[in-house]
Amino acid sequence: MMGHDLRAFLTEFELTQADFARLLGITLRAVALWVAGERTIPTTVDAYMRVFRLLPLNLRQIELNRLKQKGTNMRDGMFGITFQGQHGKGMGVLIFDSGKVYGTDEAAVRYDGDYIFDEGSGLVGAKVKVTFPPNVKAVQGISNPYEWSIIVETEFDPKQNSGTLTLRTSLGQPLDAQYVFLRSLPEAA
């Protein structure tokens, strides 16, 4: 399979390179390199395209509609977050990208997790591991001389440009937070 075969497939099904990347759960950069002929298209991708063409029209259309709806309803991108605890406040940046959440804050705390977009409610449910460097004090007042982590969970409406959050933590102490949408993710890497 060559790049022009992939271009023809995308045209045939009215898919963008970003749509195809989401269908496969891969990076947009990989698809762009395949289309440009700069990287060999894996045989598994060729097989996927053949199976996709063989699907009954109604099943193929359901998958394409779901993909397009997810793309318009879930706004992946960069979000700023500010949070307040009993022992301080903080701010950071989180990136929501194809089901993954990652980021950092002003104290070099790392955020790594997953999210699920519920098309019925229009809300995102996020579960994030928050990893603190040694001797960095959390807004709950806890500090350790070693790296340590907590789990934080929340829900929010990603279509809103800003809003409030309740962050449920594995420490049992919820935190109040504010989020703001900063920008969309670029289409090409």
In a domain, 189, yes or no: no
- Average pLDDT of the chain is 87
Range of the domain at 116: 77-184
Q: Are the C-beta atoms of 126 and 115 separated by less than 8 Å?
A: yes
pTM over 0.75: no
Residues 85 and 165 in one domain: yes
Question: 74 falls in which pLDDT band (50, 70, 90)?
Answer: low
Reply yes or no on whether the pLDDT at 81 is more than 90.
yes
Average pLDDT of 63-82? 72
Q: Are residues 96 and 158 in the same domain?
A: yes
* Domain identity same for 85 and 46: no
56 part of a folded domain: yes
pLDDT tens for 133-173 read 999 999 999 999 999 999 999 999 888 899 999 999 998 88
**Count of domains observed in the chain:** 2
Same domain as 90, residue 30? no
Report whether pLDDT(123) > 80: yes
